[in-house]
Amino acid sequence: MKKGLVIVISSPSGGGKTAVCREVRKFIPAIKFSISLTTRPPRRGEKNGRDYFFVTEDEFKKYIRQNKLIEYALVHNYYYGTPKDFLEKTISRGNDIILAIDVQGAKKIKRIYPDAVSIFILPPSLKVLKQRLQKRGLDDKETIETRLKNAGKEIKQSKDYEYIVINKKLTDTAKQVCSIIESEHN
Ligand code: 5GP
């Protein structure tokens, strides 16, 4: 049986990757999403087991020791990691899986799965990114500054991705991501 595709999507914080992933699912309902573990506290509206598995640092380290994460990284001062079991089972059943992870994680996944498809979602500009981070009102000023500082570095690494999509209009961006997935299948 043919294995499913691993699709890695990265973007700076506020770049819209979560919204894009949700929209992609409307077009391709069979696609699976990897739910990461994180030590970051939940934001308003986030649910454990839907957005992330929220864990303590001790719990996270236990997952590392037990080799249950296929990759993990320290991002904006918190740990984030991709559960190994779900990813492996999903692709071996022939289903595609999307991983919305940072640039460090993307590199590790590409090393493990050279056939993984990497897509970087770019905001139209840094100005728009700042506005989006402020508008969503989920982070304090200091967090926004850290994320903007990191955004510059992350955007520079977009050149290492196979595809770059500029996120101007959500539906258009999601459609472009769907076309990439379709063409990779062909
Ligand atoms: P946020 O706190 O905004 O949800 O996520 C912060 C950053 O961590 C984003 O760039 C997001 O893609 C990344 N991230 C989320 N889950 C994972 C993961 O499992 N592994 C890695 N390496 N990065 C992740």
**Residue 1 Cα to ligand 1 middle (Å):** 31
Could you tell me the distance, in angstroms and rounded to a whole number, from the CA of residue 121 to the centre of ligand 1?
14
DSSP 14: T
Query: What is the rounded CA–CA span in Å between residue 91 and residue 97?
Result: 7
Residue of 21, 102, 118, 129 with the most ligand 1 atoms within 8 Å of its CB, for mutation: 102
Cα(185) to centroid(ligand 1), Å = 26
**Predicted pLDDT at 125:** 86
User: Domain limits of the chain?
Assistant: 6-185
Q: Determine the average pLDDT of the residues in 26-40.
A: 96
pTM: 0.93
Specify the ligand 1 atom closest to the Cα of 36: 19
For the chain, the helix, strand and coil percentages under 3-state DSSP, each to the nearest 5: 45, 20, 30
Minimal-distance CA residue to ligand 1 atom 1? 13
Give the closest residue (by CA) to ligand 1 atom 4.
Answer: 13
Architecture of domain 6-185: 3-Layer(aba) Sandwich (3.40)
95 DSSP assignment: -
Amino acid 104 reads Q
pLDDT tens profile 108-157 = 999 999 999 999 999 988 888 888 888 877 778 888 888 888 888 888 99
**pLDDT, tens digit, for every residue of 53-83?**
999 999 999 999 999 999 999 998 899 999 9
**How far apart are the CA of 83 and the centre of ligand 1, in A?**
13
The encoded tokens of residue 138 equal 């989920």
- Residues contacting 29, CB < 8 A, separation 6+: none
Which amino acid residue places its CA nearest to atom 12 of ligand 1?
101
pLDDT > 70 in the chain, percent: 100
Question: Distance between CA atoms of 79 and 56, rounded to whole angstroms?
Answer: 10
Per-residue pLDDT at 26 exceeds 80: yes
Phi-psi region of 137 (alpha: psi -120 to 50; beta: other; left: phi over 0): left
Contact status, residue 31 vs residue 76, Cβ threshold 8 Å: no
